[in-house]
Structure 1
């Protein structure tokens, strides 16, 4: 794992831990052209896992997490992220598979 990937993953993990009280168990990031594609495993808190036992609960966890992450990054790009890339964050696309706690982010820089 490169130093850049490690630093980027640490920033993502820190933001998640601050927002949700739990960071992902595993993170893998791929840098492709002007994209950082990040796959996160083990995202859900015990409460979210309980809520996500039903289809309605999964939808609720999905909507809340997706909206929250998008709002946080729209208000303030995490410290160190743009410096790491040497450019501004242009777009953030995020999604989570709430039944399994699997998430994916695509950062356009």
Structure 2
């Protein structure tokens, strides 16, 4: 399971680096039933940190980060993600706390991806 989570995190990091020019410094992901819940630390570029130094800038960075990611994932899952977890990505919910530079993404798949709990539910 640890290898699968590591590969999942690498996909998230690679995509965010492509979209924003910088991937998260650290990612913690757990698989629970049909969800992957990822907490991402150290997301913002130096430019985004500078822009976010004002309330208006903070709103702008927040809106850009969340809407761009949701739009990208609504078009298609990252290459290999659905094959890795063995399920189709149905929804992504994401948010970021600009001041703390912490983001959370919840990936919802069409069926259970947590191999340890498959027999239970």
Match for residue 24 of structure 1?
A: 24
Q: Does the alignment pair 1:42 with 2:42?
A: yes
CA RMSD for the aligned pairs? 1.0
Question: How many residues end up aligned between the 2 structures?
Answer: 109
Which stretches of structure 1, 4 residues or more, deviate above 4 A after TM superposition? none
Matches within 5 A, 1:43-82: 43-82=43-82
Name stretches of at least 5 consecutive residues in structure 1 with no aligned partner.
none
Secondary structure of the structure 2 residue equivalent to 1:44: coil
CA distance in 2: counterparts of 1:28 and 1:86, whole angstroms: 20
Question: Is residue 2:97 matched to residue 1:97?
Answer: yes
TM-score (norm 1): 0.97
Quote the Cα distance in structure 2 between the aligned partners of 1:57 and 1:100: 15
Where structure 2 has 5 or more consecutive residues not aligned to the other structure, the ranges are: 110-121
